[in-house]
Amino acid sequence: MQKELLQQFAALNSTTRAPLISEEGASFAVDLRKHKISDAEYSVLKKIVGRTPTLPELGVFSAMWSEHCSYKSSKVHLGKLPTNGPQVVVGPGENAGVIRLSGKLCVAFKMESHNHPSYIEPYQGAATGVGGILRDVFCMGARPIANLNSLRFGQRSHPKTHYLFENVVKGVGDYGNCVGIPTVAGTVSFDKTYDGNILVNAMTCGTIHEDRIFKGFATGVNNLVVYVGSATGRDGIHGASMASDSFSSATSGERSTVQVGDPFAEKLLLEATLEVLERDLVIGLQDMGAAGLTSSSFEMADRAGNGLYLNLDLVPARAQHMTAYELLLSESQERMLMCVEPGKWEALQECLKRWQLPFAIIGLVTEGGRMHIVKDGVLEVDVPVAPLAEEAPRYERPYTMPSRTYSKDTNFRAVLQKASFAELLEKAIYDNGDKAKIYRQYDHHIGNKTILGPEEEGAGLLWLHSDWAEKGEDYIGLAVSTNCNERYCAQDPFVGAAQAVAKSYRAIVATGATPLAVTDCLNYGNPEDPTVMGQIVAGIEGIGEACRALDTPVVSGNVSLYNTTDGKSIAPTPMIGMVGKHPDIRKAVPAILKTKAYIYWLRPKATEGSFGGSLLAKILDKDVTEAVPALNWKAEREAAFWIQNLVATDRLVAARDLGTGGLALTLQKMLLPHAFGGTFALPGVKGKDDQNEAAFAEYSASYVLAFHEPLTLSLNSFEHLECHLLGEAKANSNMQLGSGTFERRTAEAKALESLKI
Amino acid sequence: MTSKFGATQIGLVQFPGSNCDADCIDAFKRLFQIDLQLIWHEETSLPSRLQGLILPGGFSYGDYLRSGALASISPIMQAVKGFVGKGGSVIGICNGFQVLTESKLLPGALLKNDSRKFICEYAHLSVAGGDSVYHRKLKGSLYKVPIAHGEGRYYVDSEGLKKLGANGQILFQYAGTDGVLSEASNPNGAISHIAGIVSENGRVLGMMPHPERASSELLGSADGQKILEAFLETVG
C-alpha cells in the first residue's frame, strides 16, 4: 500500500487538477457568503494558494477559518487568561488541558458546546456533543471517568421548550450511558434569553499517567496515514461553519448539517484508542471532530511541520458518489486519524480488527509542508499547510465595554416588602425544581467512583483509587463542578463571568476539596455587534481576574459565538467547568442534609446582600438596578481555608454554597431532599418589613454549613467573614425562617411540578 | 486482608460494548481478592478450571436489534451454555441478564421500562420464597442496590410466572424502603416486581440491579457484597 501511494505521490505533477472556481458573476459572491469568507479573507486565501482555489480548497479554508476552528474574534482576548501554575501539565491549545493531582496521576478535562446542532435536532445534537468531548479527552490517552453538562433552555412556557428539553436530556443520557461514563454533576435553567437558541455544554474528565500524555504529530516522512472508525457520510457537512452561524426562524432545512451519533462505535473507538496509545502503536492521532478530515489532517501535519498526501478514494464512505468536498468536510462521528510507522502497521491492524473498527490507509506523510489531496485521479487540494493556521484571520473587532451604573433599587425592595414570603419561596422552588427527572436518565454510578453525584446539585466527587497517586493517597478524590449564572452576566458581563468562576469554586470547596483549574465554554451572541463584543471582552477579563485571585488557571476551553436568533443575541453565558482535589473522600461533605444538625450561615463581614441579576428579579420579572453581588476574593479565600480545616477535623456534616434565591432557597435545597425542616433565625432582621430582603438576597463568598454539635469556637475570629447560628434542622418538619413559614409538602409539590414542562 | 474466596476461579465475558466489566473487576478484587479471568466474546471455550462466570452489564453489540440479542449468538455463548449444562454457576447482571434470557438460559424477557426512559437510582430488593443457595444466604434482609437500565422491565407469560413461583425461582423483587411491594416501589413496571430470578437448579442468576456497584458504604451502599458472596457460595 505504501509503495502504491508513493508512486501516486511521485506522479502528482502529471495529475489533472480540479477546476478552479469561477470568480465571475453573481454566483461568486454567493459562494463566498455561503462559505462565510469575507472579501479580505479571500484575498489572503489567494495569496496563500497562489492562484484561484478549487471548490474543495474553498471549503477547507472556510472550515479552518470558521469562528469555531480559528477563534478569529476571540483569540486576541483569550491571551489575557492565566494559564500557568505548578499544577498545570498541559495548558490550552491541545485537545484537552491536563493538571497533576497526585504523584503521576493527572486529569485531562475540557468543556465544549453543541448549541446550534442541538437546537436543530436536539437528540442527535446533544448526543454527538457528548461524543465529541469524550474523544477530545481520550485521544490524549486519558480514560474518561466523568461527564458533566450545563443546559440552558427557553422559558418553560415556550412552545419548543418541551421538545428540546426532553430530547436533549435523552440524547445526553443515551450516549453517555452506552459508552459507560457516569454523569456526576450539571446545571440547567430556563430563561427567555434562550427561547430561540438553547445551550448544550458538555464536559468530560479523564485520568491519565503523566508520562503517557499523548500529543498527535504526523512525523516521519512516508509514514502511513490511517483512517479509523465509522464510515463517512453526508452528515454534518459544514458543521464548523454552521456553529459560527446565527439562526433565523426558519432553520429546519439545516437538519442535514447535524451529525448522527453511534455511542457503540464510540465505545469501541475509545477502547481501541487507549490500547493503541498504551502499546505505542502510533506516532500521531487526532480526533475527526469539527471540520472532520480537514481539520484533523491539517492539524496533524501542521504540528510536525510536514505535509500529507491523501487519496480520498480510500476513505470508507457510507454514501455513494461522495465528492472530495463532501468527504473533506463531513462531520460524521466516531472517527480518528492515526499516523503509523510501516513497521507497526501489522500490530495496529490486529488491534483495530479485534475492536471491530473499520479502518483504511488513506495517505502518507510527505516532505515540503504541502497538503495534496486526490480523488478519482484528480488533484483536488494542493495548498501549503502552515500558512493556513499561521495566517488565519485574527480580528480585533470593535467593542463597547459595558458601562451600566448601579444603585440600590428601593422600588424593587418596596415590592419585596409587600410580597408574601411563602409565595416568593414557592416560585423560587418552582424555578429551581427537582432535577431527579433529568439525572435519573443519566447513569451516575457506573465506574464505582461516584461519592457525590448529581442528586447533590453541587459539585460531583469521584474516588480515584489509582496506583499512580502518591503513596498513602488511596482515598483522594476528584471534585468537579460547572456553573454560570446568566442573569448575573446579563446584568454585569464582567462580574457575572467572575462570579461563574467563584460559584464553581464554592461548590468544590463545599465538598472539602481544593479547586485546581478551569475549563471554559464561552457562549455569546454575534461578535460583529460591538455591544456583544464588549460582553466577550469583559467576560474574558472577569474570568481572568477570578482565576488569578483563586489560583485556578484556565487549561482548556471553547468559544461559541453567534448564539443569535433573528438578530437577538443570548445573554452572555461564559460557562465554567472546574476541577479540584479532595484529600480524603471518606471525609466528603455532601450538599444535602441527611441527619439532624445545627445550621450556620457564613457570609462576608458587614456586607449587604444584593438583588442585581437575582432569582427574585427573574421571578418578579423586574429589571433591578442593583449591582450583582460584589466580588470579594479575600472572603472567598478565607471561607475556603476555614471549610477545609473543618473537613480535616471531621466537624461538618453538610455544606452548601449560598446560591440563587439567597438563604431561603439554599436552605430548602439543603434540607428538602431528606425531608428536613426547622426553625431558623434571620440575622440582622429588625421587623417584618425586611424579612424578604434578608431571606432572598444573594451574596458572594457565602455558605450554609451544618454541624452535629453547636460550634464552641469563637465566631468573631474571622478577618473578612461573619458566621451566624441559624437554628437546628429536624427531620419531617416544616421550615420557619425569620417570621416566614413554609410547608414542606408544598415545597415538594412545587419542586416536582417544576420539570413537568 | 485475605478472603476465603481468594483462590476461586471466576471468569468474566467481555462483549464489545460491555461497560461494567471494570466495575466487576474492581469489586471482586477489592472485596474478595479475586482476579477475574477475562474471556473475549470470540473465544469458543472457557478456561478448564473455571468455577463461576460473570456476564457483565453494558450495551453488548450496541444493544442493536434487542438488548442482549446479538451477544446471545456470539461464539462464546455455546461454551457458556455447555458450562451451565454441567451445573456451572453464572451471574448475569443488567445486560448480562438480558443475554441470559435471550440465550434461553433463563425464562422470560426484559422489555423497555414502562416510563420509556432510562432509570438510574437506588432500588431496594426483597428476597422472595425459594430454596436455592441464594435464597438461603440472602433471605430476611432488604438490599439497597443501584439500577441503571432502559430495558429492565421483566416479563414472562402467566404460565411462566406460575412456574417461577412454584419452583422458587424468583429471587429479588423491587420493594420500598420498608420492604413492602407497592406500585411506587416498582421502578420499571416489571411483572410481580421481579428484579432477579434464578434457574431451576439455582445456579444461574440474572438480575437487573448492579451488586458490583453496591460494593462500599463510601459509594452509597455495601449491600451488593452479600449478593456477590452468595454467588461465590454457589460455586462452592
| CB-based contact A442 B120, cutoff 8 Å | yes
Domain residues for A548?
75-213+458-587
Q: Is the dihedral of CA A486, A489, A490, A491 positive or negative?
A: positive
> Given pLDDT bands bounded at 50, 70 and 90, which one contains residue B1?
low
Which chain B positions have a beta carbon within 8 Å of A263's beta carbon? 59, 62
Distance CA(B153)–CA(B193), nearest Å, equals 9
Q: Which of residues A587, A617, A633 is at a domain's end?
A: A587
CB contact under 8 A, A264 and B59: yes
Both A264 and A382 in one domain: the answer is yes
> Residue A470's domain is classified under what CATH number?
3.30.1330.10
Cβ-based contacts of B17 with chain A (< 8 Å): 178, 264, 267-268
The answer to whether B59 touches B20, Cβ cutoff 8 Å, is no
Please check whether residue A441 lies inside any domain of the structure.
no
Q: What is the pLDDT of residue A291?
A: 83
Residues 6+ apart with CB under 8 A from B161: B191, B192
Tell whether A41 and A149 lie within a shared domain. no
Q: Are residues A248 and A173 in the same domain?
A: no
Assign A53 to helix, strand or coil.
coil
- Kindly identify which residue of chain A lies nearest to residue B95, measuring between CA atoms: A178
* Cross-chain residue pair B23–A439, CB shorter than 8 Å: no
In a domain? residue B171: yes
* Interface contact B62-A178, CB threshold 8 A: yes
Show the domain range for B65: 10-234
Instruction: Read off the pLDDT of residues A554-564 as tens digits, 9 standing for 90 and up.
Output: 999 999 999 99
Confidence of residue A241 (pLDDT cuts 50, 70, 90): low
One-character DSSP codes across A427-468: HHHHHH--THHHHTTS--STTS-EEE-GGGSS-EEEE---TT
Residues A51 and A100 reside in one and the same domain: no
Give the integer Cα–Cα distance in Å for A177 and A474: 27
Of A268, A445, A451, Cβ closest to residue B218 = A451
Tell me: do A218 and A208 sit in the same domain.
no
Q: Report the candidate in A147, A245, A230, A153 with the shortest Cα–Cα distance to residue A191.
A: A153
Interface test with A, best of B218, B221, B225, B228 (most A CBs within 10 A): B218
Q: pTM, whole model, 2 decimals?
A: 0.95
Contact B59 A178 (CB under 8 A): yes
| In the predicted structure, residue A245 carries a pLDDT above the cut 60 | no
Q: How far is A181 from chain B (nearest CA, A)?
A: 9
B2 in any annotated domain: no
Residue A272: which of A554, A264, A189, A49 has the closest Cα?
A264
Residues A627 and A656 reside in one and the same domain: yes
A70: in domain:
no
- Mark which of A532, A562, A587 sits at the end of a domain: A587
d(CA A126, CA A166) in angstroms, rounded, equals: 11
How does pLDDT run across A223-235, given as a tens digit for each residue?
999 999 999 988 7
* pLDDT given at position A304: 87
Which helix H or strand E contains A723, and what residues bound it? strand A721-731
Same domain, yes or no: A496 and A521? yes
If DSSP codes are grouped into helix, strand and coil, which group holds residue A556? strand
Q: Would residue B74 count as lying in a domain?
A: yes
- Assigned C-alpha cell, A254: 439545516
Residue A404: Cβ within 10 Å count: 10
A325 lies in some domain: yes
Tell whether B112 is covered by a domain: yes
Instruction: Give the contacts of A432 (CB within 8 A, at least 6 positions apart).
Output: A615, A660, A661, A665, A669, A751, A754
Specify whether the CB–CB gap between A607 and A699 falls below 8 A: yes
Q: Which residues of B touch A (CB under 8 A)?
A: 16-17, 19-20, 22-23, 26-27, 40, 58-59, 61-64, 117-121, 146, 148, 150, 210, 212-213, 215-216, 218-220
The verdict on residue A574 lying in a domain is yes
Contact across the interface for A268 and B16, Cβ inside 8 Å: yes
Phi, psi of A448 (to 5 degrees): 55, 40
Flag whether B182 is in a domain: yes
Question: What mean pLDDT do residues A546-553 have?
Answer: 98
Which strand (E) or helix (H) includes residue A391?
none
The strand pair at B37-40 and B52-55 is best described as: unpaired
Tens digits of residue pLDDT in B146-186:
999 999 999 999 999 999 999 999 999 999 999 999 999 99
Cα gap A470→A473, rounded to integer Å: 6
ipTM (interface pTM): 0.96
**Same domain (yes/no): A330, A377:** yes
How many angstroms separate the Cα of A583 from the Cα of each of A97, A345, A589?
22, 44, 12
With pLDDT > 90 as the criterion, what percentage of chain A qualifies? 84
pLDDT at A239 over 90: no
Domain with residue B161: its CATH number is 3.40.50.880
Task: Count how many domains chain B has.
Answer: 1
Residue B5 located in a structural domain: no
Q: For residue range A588-605, list pLDDT tens digits in order.
A: 999 999 999 999 999 999
Which pLDDT band holds residue B188 (cuts at 50, 70, 90)?
very high
Is A440 inside any structural domain?
no
A493-512 burial: b if 16+ Cβ within 10 Å, else e: bbbbbbbbbbbbbbbbbbbb
What is the secondary structure of A651-714 as a DSSP string? -EEEEEE--TTHHHHHHHHHHGGGTEEEEE--TT--SSTTHHHHHH-B-SS-EEEEESS---S-
Beta bridge partners of A706: A599, A654
Residue B126 resides in a domain: yes
Helix (H) or strand (E) holding A39: helix A39-49
Give the range among A17-31, A446-460, A465-479, B10-24 with minimum mean pLDDT.
Answer: A17-31
What are the tens digits of pLDDT across the range A637-665?
Answer: 999 999 999 998 888 999 999 999 999 99
Interface test with A, best of B1, B29, B74, B219 (most A CBs within 10 A): B219
Distance of CA A469 to the CA centre of its chain: 27
pLDDT of residue A247: 56
Domain count, chain A: 3
Q: Any idea what the CATH number is for the domain that residue A315 is in?
A: 3.90.650.10
Which residues of chain B neighbour A355 with C-beta distances below 8 Å?
16
Buried b / exposed e across B17-40, counting CB within 10 Å, b at 16+? bbbbbbbbbbbbebbbebebeebe
Q: Which of A179, A440, A448 lies nearest to residue B215, judging by beta carbons?
A: A448
Higher pLDDT, A33 or B132: B132
User: Is B4 among the domain residues?
Assistant: no
B76 grid coordinates:
462464546
CA distance A575 to A552: 15
Amino acid in position A301: A
Does residue A429 lie in a domain region? Answer: no
Looking at the structure, do residues A176 and A243 belong to the same domain, yes or no? Answer: no
Answer with the one of A587, A606, A632 that is the final residue of a domain: A587
Identify whether residues A183 and A235 lie together within a single domain. no
Q: Which of A180, A354, A356 sits opposite B19 (nearest CB)?
A: A180
| Catalytic-residue membership of B210 | yes
pLDDT band at A133 (very low <50, low <70, confident <90, very high): very high
**pLDDT tens, position by position, A327-347:** 999 989 999 999 999 999 999
Picking from B19, B65, B216, B217 by the largest number of A CB atoms within 10 A of its own CB, the best residue to mutate is B19
Same domain assignment for residues A520 and A575: yes
**Does residue A241 share a domain with residue A95?**
no
